[in-house]
């Protein structure tokens, strides 16, 4: 029997795993996909919200404020791209101006600092791309952008470094209560016994909860679609630009991702199928049209990809965090939609604290908070580049030309703990294939390296796990 | 830091032809930088025939055509660095590059020829909605997989776009045992060569659906189907014409983009139409001493024309290094159906032999004329049975035409109906 089973290797599960590794506990993360961050964590806005938006007193307000405050130190410890670029909520009328004041009041009640109301010209002075129609804005200085999948990876890698086990391609089919814990029935046919369970199953957190607790949850998948533009898009704004929030969420934003691309989206549409991440013509058109209200017409020719993510929305419209009232040792992190990414560090911290208290765990004296990312050749100066190539010639072989990713970085992405086994895994760890040609050039070269490093025949390699094989056969 | 007289970025057909002609024009200190492990560029994966009819008066495969230039460059002793990626290029012609053997290279050069070629437009450029599952490839990636790596990217295929690579891959996939359901083309005409439509589609019974597009891609992990629809004259899908085609692969052949990230870094002025540098009659860009040729300049239909154009770039670079500097002069203006011209300007004093001006038209024109005006004076009026965007056109401007029109301020090239 292990101490803690964490279900789900998204940003919340991995944040919890890393926080749990601060204690002397045997922890195992179970993930049904083949890699971390394969669900909502890979397809979202990548924003660390300042925290003015959530209703004062809500779980969302509490965790957002705490999470946002944890980020600067966390990003430094985990070597994750993070930038406090600030945000603006823009309004177009006198009505909007009143609503912005209300948001500002929320912010103050939530304990958020660095908020300021601006008129249209004041807003345009700090963000020249704003449309002339913008009449007022709420400026939040502490809003930031972070790379969401690199953050998830970093949590996971640091957790693994501190002793947490990860099992991929391992879903949880059922949970049985035992006298001193839980027995998890796994999709691999095995069983795993754990004294405590952390449910961070994202869109499926309701199903996992309902296996154990009589207090049923229902999660609605709320789709959000995005368009991602090339780095050089002239419309790229330094700050994140929101429109007025609605009942369905924070509305369509315009932002510069942590990696420098222009990103616009999301819309919000409830869908039946929790695996439905298909983009739609209507959705993408809506997102582009709505974003243009904030910043004027967008350079649509410079779109390099579009994608959709699913929010795990609870009917209560708030996070469900903590021990289930009728299941001792079973902890939920359910309904983690926006500001989920911003809150993840705080949710992880809180869950670990609760689990440790329940299990009377001692601190882990060997905990090491530091994680080093893969050195990024594209960001180095020439002296460092020359030095690295001298040490390892594979740094001199550029595999992804759009993002200047070298063979050495790809090899390291495969060889490091929780290494990449798929094309998308390489992409999220190194950015190979994320540039303007969208992997047209490097796919074949990355497959070659994966085959060599994993000693797996090329035709078995996948984009993101079993069923997504890239090649159908060897040509005869 | 090292010094070179002439550095050529790219060792494909353009770079090789430019290197050879620069050598023949007297330059000896030449270096070709190639990012791949072999010379020849994209021709290495174009194993079909049809190359070289103009240049060699015979039909060669892509690798055979490339090899003739590789052999010649080697025979001349032209220096080449393989596996070498240029990271930066300054307006003062300082090149920063890396490779596994030399490490980081800094090269100050007297002249540069840009010959980086082009890349394929990805799915995102069309913003095609749907799933992001496996099984969506550009036609060129599929071509490399099949012809170089020896793997099939799919068995049941729909191809979007009737550019030449898409047409070639329709045949190639069929020959390798795949079923190609259809080639779907947004425009009411194909953007590929007529001969490729006949030899790659018609001969194999593959339908070409004009004025159609892919409106959605479905499949959880691997492509399971694509939805196609007819489009109206504004290229918007027509409701009610949707049709779902089961398949496991979608190949995209939706256009090529000159690859000018380096040109942009050094400040070369680019054309909004071609995406390539704006050049004068010497193929010199807006930065003196920086020349461009081949698909980095504008996307060609035949490699033979790339070779001819690149030879001019090589000669021009040699002339520049001798101090024979061109600074453009008259604008050449594309009008009425002519989308662009290469070159975009011409210095009359430098037209000592007929100057080839290449261009493409914006749509299909039947029984019309290409007219060339020197000022208001129509100097040429060439009957054309058919003009299509898929085929590059050219006119020859002769020295005597410039002599005859000494006061001409601009040259205009237009499609005319009569």
Provide ipTM, 2 decimals.
0.94
Tell me if B309 sits within 8 A of B392, measured CB to CB: no
Q: Which residues of B are less than 8 Å from A467 in CB distance? A: 220-222
Residues of chain A with pLDDT under 70: 475-476
Q: Chain B within 8 Å of A464 (Cβ-Cβ)?
A: yes
Residue A375's nearest CA partner among A419, A449, A429 is A429
Nearest to B124 by CA among A296, A236, A436: A436
Measured CA to CA, the distance from residue A288 to residue A243 in angstroms comes to 13
Query: With left for phi above 0 and alpha for psi between -120 and 50, is residue B166 left, alpha or beta?
Result: alpha
Nearest chain A residue to B223 by CA distance is: A468
Residue A185 β-bridge partners: A174, A191
Residues 216-275 of A with CB under 8 A from B: 227-228, 232, 275
Distance between alpha carbon B411 and the CA centroid of its chain, in Å? 24
CB-CB contact of A256 with A238 (8 Å): yes
Is the C-alpha dihedral spanning A31, A33, A34, A37 positive or negative? negative
Query: Is B152 within 8 Å of A475 when comparing Cβ atoms?
Result: yes
Q: How far is it, in rounded angstroms, from Cα B120 to Cα B140?
A: 7
Q: Do B103 and A396 touch (CB under 8 A)?
A: yes
Three-state SS for A171?
Answer: coil
* Nearest by Cα to A453 from A400, A413, A397, A425: A413
Is the distance from CB of A341 to CB of A80 less than 8 angstroms? no
A471 touches chain B (CB under 8 A): yes
Note whether A459 contacts B: Cβ–Cβ < 8 A: yes
Q: Which residues of B touch A384 (CB under 8 A)?
A: none
Q: Hey, which residues does A405 pair with through a beta bridge? A: A400
- Partner-chain residue, chosen from B100, B127, B261, that has the shortest CB–CB distance to A303: B127
Beta carbons of A404 and B87 less than 8 Å apart: yes
A49 catalytic? Reply is yes
Angstrom CA distances, A18 to A71, A335, A347, B145, B206, stand at: 14, 20, 11, 40, 55
| Contact criterion met (CB < 8 Å) for A475 and B130 | no
**CB–CB contacts below 8 A, A to B:** 147
Across the interface, whether the CB atoms of A458 and B99 are under 8 A apart is answered no
Q: Which of B209, B200, B293, B250 is nearest to B8 (CA)?
A: B293
∠ CA B146-B150-B155 to the nearest 5 degrees? 55
Q: Name residues whose C-beta falls within 8 Å of residue A152's C-beta, 6 or more positions apart in sequence.
A: A9, A10, A11, A14, A36, A37, A41, A42
Which residues in chain B have their CB less than 8 angstroms from residue A398's CB? 35, 85, 87, 98
Dmax over Cα atoms in chain B, in whole Å? 67
Q: Is A460 on the interface with B (CB under 8 A)?
A: no
Interatomic CA distance for residues A265 and A286, integer angstroms: 9
Half-sphere exposure of A163 (CA within 13 A, CB side): 17
Looking at residue B328, its pLDDT comes to 67
A319/A307 Cα distance (integer angstroms): 25
Indicate yes or no: CB of B151 within 8 angstroms of CB of A303.
no
Residue B163 is given by DSSP the state S
- Pick from B85, B122, B248: CB nearest A438: B122
| Closest approach of B371 to chain A, Cα-based (Å) | 32
Judge residue A208's burial from the number of C-beta atoms within 10 Å of its C-beta, 0-12 exposed, 13-18 middle, 19 or more buried: buried
- Which of A410, A438, A457, A462 is the best residue to mutate to test the B interface, defined by the most B CB atoms within 10 Å of its own CB? A438
Cα–Cα distances in Å, from B59 out to A371, B46, B302? 58, 13, 13
Chain A residues in contact with B149 (beta carbon < 8 A): 444, 447-448, 458
Check: CB of residue A18 under 8 Å from CB of residue A10: no
In sequence order, the 6+-apart residues with CB closer than 8 A to the CB of B356 are: B308, B309, B312, B394, B395, B396
Question: Are B216 and A278 within 8 A, CB to CB?
Answer: yes
Assess A386–B contact: CB distance below 8 Å, yes or no. Answer: yes
A380 touches chain B (CB under 8 A): no
Burial grade of A279 (CB within 10 A; 0-12, 13-18, 19 or more): buried
Q: Do A398 and B35 touch (CB under 8 A)?
A: yes
Q: Are B251 and B139 in contact (CB under 8 A)?
A: yes
Instruction: Say yes or no for a CB contact (<8 Å) between B222 and A396.
Output: no
Nearest CA distance, A140 vs chain B (angstrom): 32
- Residue A339: asked if its preceding bond is cis (omega within 30°), the reply is yes
Decide: A398 and A378 in contact? Cβ < 8 Å. no
Site from B118, B151, B218, B244 to mutate, A interface, most A CB atoms within 10 angstroms: B151
The pLDDT, as a whole number, for residue B124 is: 86
User: CA of B153 to nearest chain A CA: how many angstroms apart?
Assistant: 4
* Helix A59-78 and helix A340-359, axial crossing angle in degrees, nearest 10: 90
Q: Mark the ranges of chain B whose per-residue pLDDT is less than 50.
A: none
Tokens of B315: 């000669």
Contacts of B150 in chain A (CB under 8 A): 474-475
Q: Which residue has the tokens 């902890």?
A: A331
Q: Is residue B299 within 8 Å of residue B340, measured between CB atoms?
A: no
Q: Give chain A positions within 8 Å (CB) of B215.
A: 281
Nearest residue in chain B measured CA to CA from A386: B104
Instruction: Spell out the alpha helix ranges (H) of B145-280.
Output: 164-175, 194-196, 261-266
- Range 292-331 of A in CB contact (< 8 A) with B: 300-301, 303-307
Q: What is the pLDDT of residue A466?
A: 95
Tokens of B253: 């052949």
For residue B147, the 8-state DSSP code is: I
Give the nearest chain B residue to A402 (CA atoms): B261
For A389, the closest of B100, B119, B220 (CB atoms) is: B100
Pairwise CA distance, residues B73 & B22, whole Å: 11
What is the nearest CA distance from A44 to chain B, expressed in angstroms?
15
Q: Cα angle at A406 between A405 and A410, to 5 degrees?
A: 90
Q: Chain B partners of A441 at a C-beta cutoff of 8 Å?
A: 119, 141
Between CA A298 and CA A294 the distance in angstroms is 10
Element (DSSP H or E) covering residue B277: none
Asked if residue A473 lies in contact with residue A423, where contact means CB atoms within 8 angstroms, the answer is no
Nearest by Cα to A443 from B58, B120, B227: B120
Whole-number Å distance between alpha carbons of A336 and A314: 8
Contact status of A170 with chain B (Cβ, < 8 Å): no
pLDDT in tens, A386-431: 999 999 999 999 999 999 999 999 999 999 999 999 999 999 999 9
Query: Phi and psi at residue B360, in whole multiples of 5°?
Result: -125, 155
Q: Which of A49, A106, A161, A313 is catalytic?
A: A49
């Amino acid at each position: 029997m292990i101490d803690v089973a964490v279900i789900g290797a998204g940003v919340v599960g991995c944040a919890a795993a890393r926080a749990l590794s601060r204690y002397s506990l045997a922890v195992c993360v179970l993930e049904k996909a083949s890699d971390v961050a394969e669900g909502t964590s890979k397809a979202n806005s990548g924003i660390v919200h300042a925290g003015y938006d959530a209703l004062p007193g809500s779980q969302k307000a509490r965790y957002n404020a705490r999470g946002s405050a944890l980020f600067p130190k966390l990003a430094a410890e985990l070597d994750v791209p993070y930038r406090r670029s600030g945000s603006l909520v823009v309004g177009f009328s006198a009505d909007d101006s009143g609503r912005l004041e209300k948001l500002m009041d929320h912010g103050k009640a939530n304990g958020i600092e660095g908020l300021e109301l601006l008129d249209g010209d004041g807003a345009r002075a700090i963000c020249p791309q704003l449309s002339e129609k913008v009449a007022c804005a709420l400026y939040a200085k502490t809003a930031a952008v972070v790379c969401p999948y690199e953050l998830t990876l970093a949590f996971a890698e640091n957790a693994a470094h501190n002793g947490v086990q990860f099992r991929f391609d391992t879903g949880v089919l059922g949970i049985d209560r035992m006298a001193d814990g839980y027995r998890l029935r796994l999709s691999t046919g095995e069983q795993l016994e754990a004294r405590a369970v952390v449910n961070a199953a994202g869109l499926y957190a309701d199903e996992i909860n309902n296996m154990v607790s009589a207090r049923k949850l229902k999660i609605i998948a709320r789709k959000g679609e995005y368009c991602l533009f090339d780095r050089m898009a002239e419309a790229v704004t330094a700050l994140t630009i929101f429109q007025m929030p609605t009942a369905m969420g924070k509305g369509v934003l315009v932002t510069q991702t942590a990696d420098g691309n222009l990103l616009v989206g999301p819309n919000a549409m409830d869908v039946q199928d929790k695996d439905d991440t298909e983009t739609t013509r209507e959705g993408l058109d809506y997102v582009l049209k709505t974003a243009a209200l904030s910043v004027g017409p967008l350079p649509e020719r410079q779109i390099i990809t579009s994608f959709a993510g699913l929010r795990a929305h609870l009917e209560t419209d708030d996070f469900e965090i903590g021990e289930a009232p009728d299941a001792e040792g079973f902890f939920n992190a359910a309904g983690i939609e926006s500001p989920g990414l911003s809150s993840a560090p705080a949710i992880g911290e809180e869950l670990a604290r609760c689990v440790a208290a329940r299990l009377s765990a001692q601190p882990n004296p060997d905990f090491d908070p530091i994680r080093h990312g893969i050195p990024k050749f594209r960001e180095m100066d020439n002296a460092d580049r020359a030095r690295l190539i001298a040490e390892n010639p594979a740094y001199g072989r550029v595999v992804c030309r759009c993002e200047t990713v070298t063979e050495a970085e790809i090899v390291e992405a495969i060889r490091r703990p929780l290494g990449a086994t798929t094309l998308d895994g390489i992409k999220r760890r190194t950015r190979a294939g994320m540039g303007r040609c969208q992997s047209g050039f490097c796919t074949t070269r990355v497959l070659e390296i994966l085959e060599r490093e994993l000693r797996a025949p090329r035709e078995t390699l996948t984009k993101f796990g079993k069923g997504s094989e890239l090649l159908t056969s060897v040509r005869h | 830091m090292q010094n070179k007289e002439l550095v050529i970025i790219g060792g494909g057909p353009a770079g090789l032809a430019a290197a050879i002609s620069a050598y023949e024009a007297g330059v000896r200190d030449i270096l070709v930088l190639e990012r791949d492990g072999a010379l020849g560029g994209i021709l290495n994966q174009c194993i079909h025939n049809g190359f070289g009819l103009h240049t060699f008066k015979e039909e060669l495969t892509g690798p055979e055509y490339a090899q003739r230039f590789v052999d010649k460059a080697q025979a001349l002793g032209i220096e080449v660095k393989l596996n070498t990626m240029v990271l930066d290029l300054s307006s003062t012609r300082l090149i920063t590059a890396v490779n596994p053997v030399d490490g980081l290279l800094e090269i100050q050069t007297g002249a540069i020829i840009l010959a980086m070629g082009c890349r394929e437009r990805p799915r995102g450029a069309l913003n095609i909605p749907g799933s992001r599952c496996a099984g969506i490839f550009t036609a060129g990636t599929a071509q490399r997989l099949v012809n170089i790596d020896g793997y099939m990217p799919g068995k049941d295929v729909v191809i979007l776009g009737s550019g030449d690579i898409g047409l070639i891959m329709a045949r190639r996939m069929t020959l390798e045992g795949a079923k190609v359901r259809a080639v779907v083309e947004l425009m009411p005409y194909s953007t590929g060569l007529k001969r490729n439509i006949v030899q790659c589609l018609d001969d194999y019974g593959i339908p070409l659906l004009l004025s159609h597009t892919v409106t959605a891609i479905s499949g959880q992990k691997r492509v399971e189907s694509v939805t196609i629809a007819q489009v109206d004259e504004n290229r918007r899908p027509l409701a009610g014409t949707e049709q779902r085609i089961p398949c496991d692969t979608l190949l995209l052949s939706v256009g090529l983009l000159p690859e000018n990230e380096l040109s942009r870094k050094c400040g070369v002025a680019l054309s909004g139409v071609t995406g390539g540098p704006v050049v004068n009659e010497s193929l010199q860009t807006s930065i003196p001493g920086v020349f461009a040729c081949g698909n980095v300049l504008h996307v060609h239909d035949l490699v033979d024309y790339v070779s001819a154009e690149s030879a001019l770039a090589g000669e021009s670079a040699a002339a520049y290094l001798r101090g024979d500097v061109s600074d453009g002069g008259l604008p050449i203006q594309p009008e009425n159906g002519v989308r662009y011209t290469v070159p975009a300007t011409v210095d009359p004093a430098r037209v000592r032999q007929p100057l080839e001006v290449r261009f493409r038209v914006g749509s299909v024109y039947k029984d019309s004329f290409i007219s060339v005006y020197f000022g208001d004076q129509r100097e040429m009026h060439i009957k054309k049975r058919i003009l299509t965007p898929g085929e590059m056109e050219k006119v020859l401007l002769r020295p005597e035409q410039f002599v005859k029109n000494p006061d001409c301020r601009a040259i205009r090239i237009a499609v005319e109906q009569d």
